[in-house]
Amino acid sequence: MEIFTILRFPDPRLKLVAQPVIRFDDSLGQTCANMLQTMYAANGIGLAATQVNIQQQILVVDLSAANNQPLVIINPTIMNKAGSIIWEEGCLSFPGIYAKVKRSEKINLEFYDPQGQRQNMSVEGLLAICIQHEIDHLNGITFVDHLSPLRKKLLRNKLDKISQES
């Protein structure tokens, strides 16, 4: 297994839009396994491929305390959204930054698994929040982009500090 380097803000590659996966092969499976190991090593609950400079529509999530319920989502599309929830989010690409973000409370999602099989799933709560957060990454959007100008201004000192450390 390989542990990938996680891109940190203000790396411009975090703003790139990922391309759909078209080849479902052993290489893709290895990439997904490496992404999971990278997420676990960083004590995260979600990771998008763009955060490790892989410009493909892949995300991994595992909300379990024992890191034994991995979910690999490829080429995701949110089909329906319902409700709203405000949750304090963090991000492996923004260490030490947390902010309340408004998201849909429930989503219905279509995606492919690593074997290329189409899947459909309805999720809610933290899992829905996490998936939306990671899909945003695949579209070049970070959770900070959801904040009001005032909230961004209040976080500016922390963001500047992260920029200087990069």
Burial 129-142 (b: 16+ CB within 10 A, else e): bbbbbbbbbbebeb
pTM, two decimal places: 0.94
pLDDT 10s digits, 11-70:
999 999 999 999 999 999 999 999 999 999 999 999 999 999 999 999 999 999 999 999
Measured CA to CA, the distance from residue 99 to residue 146 in angstroms comes to: 10
User: Residues near 43 by Cβ (< 8 Å), separated by ≥ 6?
Assistant: none
**CATH number, span 12-165:** 3.90.45.10
pLDDT 10s digits, 76-124:
999 999 999 999 999 999 998 999 999 999 999 999 999 999 999 999 9
Active centre residues (catalytic): 134
Q: What is the DSSP string of 53-93?
A: T--BSEEEE---TTS---EEEEEEEEEEEE--EEEEE--TT
Per-residue confidence (pLDDT) for residue 4, from 0 to 100: 98
